Structure 1
Amino acid sequence: MIERKEVSVLQEQTIINVCLLAGRIMLKSGAETYRVEDTMVRIANAYGLEYAQSHVTPTAIMFASSTTNPTNFVRIVERVTDLHKVSQVNSVSRRISTGDLTLDEACDELEEIEMQKNTYPVWVQLLAAAAASGGFTIMFQGAWSDFFPALVVGSMAYGAMQYFHRTLKVRFFAEFLASIILGFLAYLFSQFGIGADIDKIIIGSVMPLVPGLLITNAVRDLMAHHLVSGIAKTAEAALTALAIGAGVAAIFFIV
């Protein structure tokens, strides 16, 4: 175990930077706010900051080495879903707690984790979205003739959402445009007689767009008494679902 000892000012600042880096990676990768807070405090305690305090919201991290020291603030602008990074940071945190990592080693590993790109390339994500769309279509009692249209519509809608997320700065607009494309493609398939039920195609294809992780994290934060974060994530999930529904409805209104 790491011995408890006096921490110099330089060491304290390095520890704070490591804690903020770990918290930033986790929050940007879709971790629950209570998990981010717990990880940061555990790392600080392991390195000798026994009175560290942290407060996390979906868009910000506040951390102090004690109740009387200045508070450090980090703004989180973009968030993605990358549970692999969350797992990696948790692993680093556990190794820090058991004394297997020095401060410099922990900093180097966390920087490597932050620099990692997506775990899976885009084509794998599109294949997964297609498989999920087709599977959900059958699960929702769609016909096998709806399976292939759902594969195509689901993968293209998911790809469109990822593209719009990268190019547009307006929140929820990517989901809205992607759902418009989804509804239009499903309508085209039905018009050409490919697929038996347009409703089942749309229901299956829209599932990869649904903010499932966000909803799960909102519930878990509420259960952990993180009311601000839980309510904020619930509102974000609701607005995302509204954008998806509005996009599909817009196609039916137009055609």
Structure 2
Amino acid sequence: MSDKATVEKVCMIAGKIMLMSGAETHRVEDTMNRIAHSYGLKDAQSYATPTGINFSAGMTEINNFLRITKRPTNLHKIHEVNEISRQITGGELQLEDAYQCLKEVENKQAIYAPWLQVLAAALASGCFTIMFQGKWIDFLPALIAGGVGFAVMLGMDRLLEIRFLAEFIGAFFIGVSAYLLVDNGFGLEMDKVIIGGVMPLVPGLHITNAIRDLMAGHLLSGISKGIEATLTALAIGAGVSLIFTFV
């Protein structure tokens, strides 16, 4: 494998990890270009969208393309790639060492187990309910509803592999749980319980990335991420409202 081919693989792996972990497209392109420049590719060209990466060693070189289908949020992996990129630009990592470090990051499993994610989502739901001026008696119902909904969403996401549908079903279970708990005297304000319960599903990172990409001039990525965030919000709203059509 030639040095140029190795540099291309290093850049593609770095971009792949970052894009699949929820990074902004302009950050992905900047990281790939910095790595390429550090290893002597002065005219490297990179182009990223939410669903794919293009990279070439020069304006007239062969183009490398990688399709991205899954984009779970993993800020820890983004941080690790950023650290490796800084070491590369600082001249602290040889090409083969950088390739091995990135492969290790790529092969790492999720840093938090699903049960811990559900526990964190449940606790966050209760806290959000209090933050939105709910009563302390609503803390436990929101905790239960948020935990149930997030667990259902994770399970449906693995089963269906359609994120919007998984979030719709998760929000529906949040609505059902909130209704049953409040109706049986375990809470006072159903709206506060539901608001707190759905907060872990809200696409805050997608909205932030969409705005940052638009401000950086990446119009295609910014608009597509904005539409994705809007569809997610609609799925959550539809899932919650569905329960009220039956009661």
Same fold (TM over 0.5): yes
Range with bigger deviation, 120-129 or 88-97: 120-129
Query: 1:175-220 CA distances to partner (integer Å, 9 max, x unpaired)?
Result: 1111111100111001111100100000001000001111110011
What residue is the counterpart of 1:243 in the other structure?
235
Task: Give runs of ≥4 in structure 1 deviating > 2 Å.
Answer: none
How far residue 37 of structure 1 moved from its aligned partner, in angstroms, is: 0.1
1:138 to 126, 130, 142: 130
Matches for 1:4-19 after TM superposition, within 5 Å:
10-19=2-11
CA contact (8 A) 2:141 2:182 kept: no
How far residue 113 of structure 1 moved from its aligned partner, in angstroms, is: 0.3
1:234 to 221, 226, 232: 226
What residue is the counterpart of 1:187 in the other structure?
179
Which sections of structure 1, spanning at least 5 residues, go unmatched?
1-8
Aligned residues, how many?
247
Matches for 1:10-49 after TM superposition, within 5 Å:
10-49=2-41
Partner of 1:104: helix, strand, or coil?
A: helix
How far residue 70 of structure 1 moved from its aligned partner, in angstroms, is: 1.4
What residue is the counterpart of 2:204 in the other structure?
212
Query: 1:98-136 CA distances to partner (integer Å, 9 max, x unpaired)?
Result: 111011100100000011111112222112111110111
Partner of 2:244: helix, strand, or coil?
A: helix
Is it true that 1:58 corresponds to 2:60 in the alignment? Answer: no
Residue 130 of structure 2 aligns with an amino acid whose one-letter code is I
Matches for 1:101-120 after TM superposition, within 5 Å:
101-120=93-112
Query: 1:156-179 CA distances to partner (integer Å, 9 max, x unpaired)?
Result: 111111111111033410011111
Partner of 2:217: helix, strand, or coil?
A: coil
Partner of 1:190: helix, strand, or coil?
A: helix
Is it true that 1:127 corresponds to 2:114 in the alignment? Answer: no
- CA RMSD in angstroms comes to 0.9
What residue is the counterpart of 1:83 in the other structure?
75
Range with bigger deviation, 207-216 or 169-178: 169-178
Same amino acid, percent of matched pairs: 55
**Matches of 2:163 and 2:172 in 1, distance apart?**
16
